[in-house]
């Protein structure tokens, strides 16, 4: 319960506005966390359209179940990784979708937990969002070669002292806890400015353990595919590597031609399927940052789906498939049909 009262949803008003939440509709919160954004979506969509909430962390599902129990009739909470978004939507008959939200990163509960995400609390070096994942931060720190570690830290955090840190880790390992690693980094590169010297390395390890960037890119592509006409996609990111993926993909999908600059005539045949809602990224106000310092790095981007021939054809294919086996949408749970639908989606 502590989590629900301590995790403050970031950019809440801006998110609800960008999602254009209205009564009815089908909503997906891909990063349920403490259910803060989900609760607001349900409130604004009253009488509620169904909400599908996803989180890879079973603890987040438990907390959201308690928080959203009054609307349990129209709320489906699923302990899954959002990288499986498309398969989840098909499995739960949740198509087409009107709104998809990603509020990336970690919740306050996770940061304060004994799972090694924070360099401020003593905990085993774990950093897995889901206990079902195999690789922990300790596995990486204690088994990667020095050059692999240096590359990983550089790639996922743009830390300029990555080589020094990797060298010291290899000298001092095995490392077991978050504070052991944090102190080692502080001794290696010293303290400068306000940011703790271990911030970047912890970010890099967390991204690697949870394959955050790969999963984000794959899930965003699926989300764009799943949105119905005028459906909205909103993504809140917390570091530049995430934001770059969101920015590049949404900008690319809002253009009719993505040929390299200088190409005399279009050869890509690409057509825009998104309209950017905010040309400039939305960031929290000073008042929000003062109230909730964890919001300071948040960036919100939003886009609206515009119909494309490819999408119309995809839904026609689905309708035909449903019709061919004589079922309404409920029949999508039929295993044979599901298999066909998955094929149709992967081909679309």
Ligand X SMILES: C[S@@+](CC[C@H](N)C(=O)[O-])C[C@H]1O[C@@H](n2cnc3c(N)ncnc32)[C@H](O)[C@@H]1O
Q: Which is nearer to ligand X, 63 or 182 (CB)?
A: 63
Q: Which of residues 169-228 bind ligand X (CB under 6 A)?
A: 215
Quote the CA–CA distance of 340 and 202 in Å, as a whole number: 42
Q: Which is nearer to ligand X, 54 or 138 (CB)?
A: 54
For residue 257, the minimal CB distance to ligand X (Å) is 32
Task: Confirm or reject binding of residue 50 to ligand X (CB under 6 A).
Answer: no
Task: Confirm or reject binding of residue 55 to ligand X (CB under 6 A).
Answer: yes
Q: What are phi and psi of 57, to 5 degrees?
A: -95, 115
Candidates 26, 37, 154, 305; binder of ligand X (CB under 6 A) is 37
Quote the CA–CA distance of 117 and 74 in Å, as a whole number: 33
Task: Confirm or reject binding of residue 105 to ligand X (CB under 6 A).
Answer: yes
Task: Confirm or reject binding of residue 149 to ligand X (CB under 6 A).
Answer: no
Task: Confirm or reject binding of residue 88 to ligand X (CB under 6 A).
Answer: no
Candidates 35, 49, 50, 197; binder of ligand X (CB under 6 A) is 35
Residue the block writes with tokens 């703790």: 196
Task: Confirm or reject binding of residue 60 to ligand X (CB under 6 A).
Answer: yes
- Within 10 angstroms of residue 216's Cβ, the number of other Cβ atoms is 23
Residues touching ligand X: how many (CB under 6 A)?
A: 22
Site string for ligand X, 288-327 (x = CB under 6 A): ----------------------------------------
Q: Which of residues 244-283 bind ligand X (CB under 6 A)?
A: none
Candidates 56, 61, 234, 300; binder of ligand X (CB under 6 A) is 56
Query: Which of 56-64, 150-158, 241-249, 259-267 is the region at the interface with ligand X (rule: CB under 6 A)?
Result: 56-64
**Contacts with ligand X, residue ranges (CB under 6 A):** 7, 9, 31, 33-37, 54-57, 60, 81-83, 103, 105-107, 129, 215
């Amino acid at each position: 319960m502590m989590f629900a009262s301590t995790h403050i949803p970031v950019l809440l008003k801006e998110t609800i506005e960008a999602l254009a939440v209205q009564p009815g509709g089908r909503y997906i919160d891909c990063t349920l966390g403490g259910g803060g954004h989900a609760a607001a979506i349900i409130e604004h969509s009253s009488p509620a359209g169904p909400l599908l909430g996803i989180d890879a962390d079973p603890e987040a599902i438990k907390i959201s179940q308690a928080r959203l129990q009054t609307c349990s009739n129209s709320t489906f909470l699923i302990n899954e990784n959002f990288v499986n978004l498309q398969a989840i939507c098909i499995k739960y008959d949740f198509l087409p979708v009107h709104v998809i939200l990603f509020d990336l990163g970690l919740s306050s509960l996770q940061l304060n937990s004994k799972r090694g995400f924070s360099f401020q609390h003593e905990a085993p070096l774990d950093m897995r969002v889901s206990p079902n994942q195999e690789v922990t931060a300790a596995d990486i720190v204690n088994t990667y070669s020095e050059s692999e570690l240096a590359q990983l830290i550089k790639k996922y955090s743009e830390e300029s002292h990555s080589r020094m840190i990797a060298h010291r880790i290899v000298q001092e390992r095995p490392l077991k806890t978050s504070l052991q690693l944090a102190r080692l980094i502080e001794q290696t590169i010293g303290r400068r400015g306000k940011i703790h010297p271990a911030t970047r390395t912890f970010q890099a390890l967390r991204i690697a353990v949870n394959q955050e960037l790969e999963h984000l890119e794959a899930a965003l592509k699926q989300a764009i595919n799943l949105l119905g006409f005028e459906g909205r996609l909103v993504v809140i990111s917390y570091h530049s590597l995430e934001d770059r993926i969101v920015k590049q993909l949404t900008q690319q999908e809002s253009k009719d031609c993505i040929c390299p600059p200088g190409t005399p005539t279009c050869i890509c045949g690409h057509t825009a399927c998104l309209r950017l809602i905010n040309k400039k990224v939305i960031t929290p106000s000073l008042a929000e940052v003062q109230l909730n310092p964890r919001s300071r790095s948040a960036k919100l981007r939003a886009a609206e789906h515009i119909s494309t021939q490819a999408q119309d054809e995809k839904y026609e294919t689905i309708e035909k498939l449903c019709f061919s086996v004589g079922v309404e949408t409920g029949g999508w749970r039929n295993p044979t049909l599901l298999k066909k639908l998955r094929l149709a989606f992967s081909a679309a």
